[in-house]
Structure 1
């Protein structure tokens, strides 16, 4: 799994950063999900290694322009590029109206199956491999953070032990690998759980939308491998940040510490900050949570 940051600026783009968009690559096949789609996200795709045809889902945190104004262009460009793979969008109430209205008024269309699912807090997706849960945040518009959990991978089947106990090979081995109970032709009942090694814990990450401090943050980010959280302003500007539904460096790092996250990646920086300001912001975060990194456009983080 990889996180690719396509935009790391807050509110407006700058010469160094585009607005919010994060891609989560799920497998070696290169299929991925997108979290938010700010203006010019499709331009950022062209400067990255990501392929539009591998995009499977888009999760929108909220309906502010710096998080959704790139959607119409991306959706229609997929069609013009001949991509026929289906795409599903998840996001707050109003997302479907936004998509339908912008496409209709601009005379645009898509030629692939497009589904828009308006969500509420709670589980929004589970395909048996990954589960995504939405948590409400504290912003000036309804806004969500997403917790992505990979299901645990079953341990390896002890084929040598089965052989030693005269359990013949057959199609039931696939059932045993899933931990199921199998009745053999000779009447013996074999419980696959008894022949599996320890499961491999799935990876967990939390991707926050815009938010001032909120109680649900600790549940959203509890013991995740990676927490992605906005750090719009420096610690000295806490009142301004919170008044606009945002967090400071110190507030975001405190969430990572208190939630017992393993790693914190800060993003969504005010366009007032240049690259030369970043060491100062990083120091504020690391004073609270040492395992902090700062995102920049096109940065790739391995999970």
Structure 2
């Protein structure tokens, strides 16, 4: 699993940072990419990466502020031009459907694929055999949601010596067992996958929070998460000002991660007033509360491998 930040700025683009968009790359797991928010010029940012738009099959929108949605029309149109034909799901506030359909209609854009809209509400907003995504409302100046992506536990490794004792012939039946499915041999004997697999491997959890001031909901969504992505629009010297705008400081984000017993924290949605030296200070301050804190830059790529987060 990889996280690539396509935009890490707050409010409007700057020379150093585009506005918000994050790609959750699940290529090894399910061969697809999910976007979280799609700020203006997201498609331009994608051109600087190895991301193929047709691989994006889900977009999760946290809220309707322009710096989180203005990139949708352009990206959707380009996905068609670039050969995207598979269905796309957009999860977000009800107004997202109106926004997308109006811009597509008025711009006379032809899409080569269907879009399925899911209105985000608190609870489970997506589930398949591999993943489950929960959403909860945060505390911003308009309705805004955070998403918790949980990978379901993976089957353990196939214990070949045990399989051989049951007399299972090599081939497709091995794959069935490895996938966690019981099999029946030609003589009618049943071999249970649980008897020939090691313990299941716990899946990862990634929490991606939209704009929010400090709130308990952020802690709930972040519980035991491998990665928490949290905004840091303000610094610790402006806590009251941050709250009045529905935003958080760097140290508040660190406190959320600590209280949630998360493993890693990535700060994003950084104000343009912060220069490079300021970002170093923000990270250092946060690390006094939560040591495993990183700051995201545009195009930064983080990989979770064997429960360890590495910045590429």
CA contact (8 A) 2:166 2:191 kept: no
Distance in 2, matches of 1:131 and 1:182, equals 27
Instruction: Give the CA deviation at 1:286.
Output: 0.8
Please list the CA deviations of residues 156-210 of structure 1 after superposition, one character each: whole Å capped at 9, or x if unmatched. Answer: 2223223224455675545543444555554544332122111121111100000
Q: CA 1:6 to 1:170, structure 2 compared with 1: closer, same or farther past 3 Å? A: closer
CA contact (8 A) 1:7 1:21 kept: yes
Question: Which residue is 1:233 aligned to?
Answer: 234
Moved more, 14-23 or 279-288: 279-288
CA contact (8 A) 2:97 2:117 kept: yes
Q: Which runs of 5+ in 1 are unaligned?
A: none
Distance in 1, matches of 2:237 and 2:171, equals 66
TM-score (norm 1): 0.93
Instruction: Give the CA deviation at 1:111.
Output: 2.0
CA contact (8 A) 1:58 1:90 kept: yes
Distance in 1, matches of 2:14 and 2:282, equals 17
CA contact (8 A) 1:48 1:298 kept: yes
Distance in 1, matches of 2:123 and 2:179, equals 27
Q: CA 1:167 to 1:119, structure 2 compared with 1: closer, same or farther past 3 Å? A: same
Distance in 1, matches of 2:188 and 2:273, equals 73
What are the equivalent positions in structure 2 for 1:206-245 lying under 5 Å apart?
Answer: 206-245=207-246
Distance in 2, matches of 1:235 and 1:283, equals 12
RMSD: 1.9
Indicate the SS of the match to 1:252.
helix
Indicate the SS of the match to 2:150.
strand
CA contact (8 A) 1:224 1:261 kept: yes
CA contact (8 A) 1:20 1:38 kept: yes
**Is residue 2:57 matched to residue 1:35?**
no
Distance in 1, matches of 2:71 and 2:240, equals 30
Instruction: Give the CA deviation at 1:104.
Output: 1.8
Question: Which residue is 2:204 aligned to?
Answer: 203
**Is residue 2:3 matched to residue 1:11?**
no
Instruction: Give the CA deviation at 1:80.
Output: 2.8
Distance in 1, matches of 2:121 and 2:110, equals 27
Distance in 2, matches of 1:33 and 1:265, equals 18
CA contact (8 A) 2:150 2:205 kept: yes
Q: Report how many aligned residue pairs link the two structures.
A: 303
Indicate the SS of the match to 2:216.
coil
